[in-house]
Chain A
Amino acid sequence: MASEQTSAQYITHHLTNWTFGDMPEHAVGQKLCGDGMPAVQEAGWQFAHCAGEAQAMGFHSIHLDTMFWSISLGLLFIWLFRKAASKATAETPSGLQNFVEWVCEFIDTSVRGSFTAKNDLVAPMALTIFIWVFLMNFMDLIPVDWLPVLAGKIGESFFGVDPHHVYFKVVPSTDPNATFGMSLAVFALMLFYSIKIKGVGGFAGELTLHPFSSKNVIVQYLIFVPVNFVLEFVSLLAKPLSLSLRLYGNMYAGEMIFILIALLYSAGWVMGIFGGFLQLGWAIFHILIITLQAFIFMTLAIVYMDMAYQTGDDH
């Protein structure tokens, strides 16, 4: 960590995304980065200099680091797999093809185990989730300072930017935007297939006609339907929410611990060595977590897709 920063600044710096956004008019002139720092110069699309400015930009902004890493890792994933797939033959496989086939076989088994209907989309979706999320999580194992400091140096030498204002968060899955983006995509697929399989009426029925039902029509429609709707709607919304928050929470917490361990390196050599061991231990443990979280995300996505195909008779 840079020695002139306080611990709080260091942590905040690590947890801030590289944001490009539309600064609103009313923020101009305000000292969003703190009292000692310059105020916002002008409105319009610009890079945020600090978390406060990113906050002010609100929804009209984009996290360039998250997008950069997620797209790069995704491209790495499809490049690798496409390379293996284009050469895939029934002959004796070797190297990369072996690995890719092993992963695909594993995904195929998982999908067959959880998804009972027939849909060619589910397995590729599961594969994409598993590998992509795994790669994004894997960025967590790269020592927390390497890439941000590198980005700071590049920003300083090539663009003349104060390295303290270069934010570079390298783990896309610690950005709720990334996890929500994926879970909402899964949710959209789930809704699409729900309505496609059961029809709008069937889907609405699923939301309103159980768990409570009554033979009395008045009781049914005046009391139970609203109650059912509230219950089912909450449980419906809970699916994408829990899916994304589980991944985000786990990865964010893991990242946070890496940052806190990294703080030890500035507290003398005894603490530094101790921190080294801690980081090693946590990283080894984290290998399990990143794989597990990728697997859970994938499995739940498969299960949700399977639920979309259930016709509701078994409720």
Chain B
Amino acid sequence: MNINYTLIGQSITFFFFIWFCLKFVWPPIMKALTERRNKIADGLAAAEKGQHEEELAKQRAADILKDAKNQAGEIIRQAEKRANEIVDQAKNDAKAEGERIIHAAQAEIDQNVTRAREELRGQVVSLAVAGASKVLKKNIDEKANEDLIKDLAAQL
């Protein structure tokens, strides 16, 4: 067991290695470890956030779906109502039109009847006049008789 220069050499070597570690080994490794730790923590936080957001999105999607269903139901209901309205209106319109046509036809018939009666009346008058003139065949003042005939015609 000789103590000699080896002792000093070892100490110097040791200090050199410590210095080397201090400068070139320890800081980059610790930096990488810290960075990775932060990164993992961030990743975990992001994952949790993502999960939370997914849940929210699901919730939102369900809400939207429900709204859409309600809206669709509403629209259908309104459409049905409108359809009924249209049908009713059409019915009413058709009824009114029908009645109008009937009235018009009735009026025309009445008019025709009246005209036919008037015509008939005229013809009866001239027939009566012709008949009367033939019957009398006398020289009677045609003018005084005509008034008499007209009176008679008005009484028909």
Contacts and interface: CB of A to CB of B under 8 A. Distances in A.
User: Does A associate with B in a complex?
Assistant: yes
Interface string B11-39: 10111011011101110111111011011
Contacts of B35: 89-90
A181 B9 contact: yes
Given A85-B28, A128-B21, A62 B4 contact: yes
A89 B5 contact: no
B44 to A, nearest CB: 15
B9 A62 contact: yes
B3 A59 contact: yes
Q: Is the interface of A mostly helix, strand, loop or mixed?
A: helix
Contacts of B24: 78, 82, 85-86
B10 interface: yes
B33 A104 contact: yes
Interface string A62-93: 11001100110010011001101110111101
B32 to A, nearest CB: 4
B1 interface: yes
Nearest to A182: B14
Given A124-B26, A128-B21, A88 B13 contact: no
Contacts of B39: 90
User: Mostly helix, strand, loop or mixed at chain B's interface?
Assistant: helix
B6 A132 contact: no
B3 A85 contact: no
A103 to B, nearest CB: 9
A156 interface: no
A175 interface: yes
B134 to A, nearest CB: 139
Nearest to A61: B4
A190 interface: no
A223 B149 CA distance: 183
A178 B17 CA distance: 14
A93 B11 CA distance: 34
A54 B3 CA distance: 11
Contact of A74 (B4, B13, B26, B29): B13
B144 interface: no
Contact of A90 (B6, B7, B22, B32): B32
B155 to A, nearest CB: 128
Contacts of A71: 13
Contact of A101 (B2, B3, B9, B33): B33
A180 interface: yes
A117 interface: no
A127 interface: yes
Contacts of A62: 4-6, 9
B136 interface: no
Contacts of A86: 24, 28
Given A19-B2, A181-B14, 4 more contacts: A93-B36, A124-B21, A181-B11, A181-B13
14 contacts: A54-B2, A62-B5, A70-B13, A88-B31, A88-B32, A90-B36, A101-B33, A123-B30, A124-B22, A125-B21, A125-B22, A128-B17, A180-B3, A185-B11
